[in-house]
Amino acid sequence: MTRLTYREALKQGLREALQSSDKVFLLGEDVGRYGGSFAVSKGLLQEFGPDRIMDVPLSESGFTGAGIGAALGGMRPIVEIMTVNFSLLAMDQIVNNAATLLHMSGGQLNVPLVIRMSCGIGRQLAAQHSHSWEPLFAHIPGLKVVSAGTHEDARKMIMAALLDPNPVILFEYTAMMNLEADMEDPLPAVDLSKAKLRKSGKDLSLITYGSGVYKCLHAAGELAKEGMEVEVLDLRSLRPIDTEAIVASVRKTHRALMVDDAWQSVSISSEVSARIMENCFYELDAPVQRLNGLEVPMPYPKHLEDAAIVQPSQIVNKVRQMLG
């Protein structure tokens, strides 16, 4: 058992991926000499050299396109986009090229590309460096979209994504970078298409992903002191969504609360709610509920930033309300 930060878990995952094949390389803004904007790639330039750890100009469209081209040429590129906000500058490449080339080529062209993005709040970095925009990418056919909500997934998802023949969007979480947790070693491989039951329970299902996982686990611990046994299901995969795991959990607990920091309108929680209603409506003992971030651009002041995203105390209070 090893105790390490979320940042170090990501770095270990990157190192493992780079060691696995000479075809794997990392490119992005400040990933080399600076060591990455969040210090995730610090030291990797010295270990693997400039041909494998590439600093690029400030052009998300340009270096994402270069990654797509390298993937088409047989390489295994890992593209780092500093924050999810900046991914909008590369949306043409991601949506019109990476996501569509397999279909438009009649199955002849795979794009085995991994795009890493830091997501969620940036700890007082305001609206141009914070937000949870996972639903934008989960909407797009042709992409696989996964969310590393635990240290174990931060370590293992990069390697699993590289083995996939499709373009994979991997969300990492800025607010979790310094968070420490114990991690087993060695870790089992990750199945990117499957949700993960993080805690079993019988009274209510907390369905979440990303930075919501540890919040829900913390809330579940507090609720257990009051005799409430809630289940925590980490979606992990946002496209495709593991409907089977969601339905199995709800059929066991008969109540569901979705938790995520993204805006509620047209969100992952909206989709999960719809799938519960379509697949196990008659198993419910209470209406499906959602806890989401406030629908405002992310504020800068700390107290307003905290107010704009879901807090563990809100989860506890909502579950108490739902269980009467």
- Which residues does the annotation mark as catalytic? 60, 129
Residues in contact with 167: Cβ distance below 8 Å, sequence separation at least 6, in sequence order: 68, 71, 94, 98, 99, 111, 112, 113, 114, 115, 142, 143, 144
State the distance between the two ends of the chain, measured CA to CA, in whole angstroms: 39
Nearest-CA neighbor of 247 among 274, 266, 228? Answer: 274
Residue with tokens 């996972």: 134
Give dist(CA 305, CA 292) in Å, integer.
Answer: 13
Nearest-CA neighbor of 267 among 248, 300, 293? Answer: 293
Give dist(CA 164, CA 4) in Å, integer.
Answer: 27
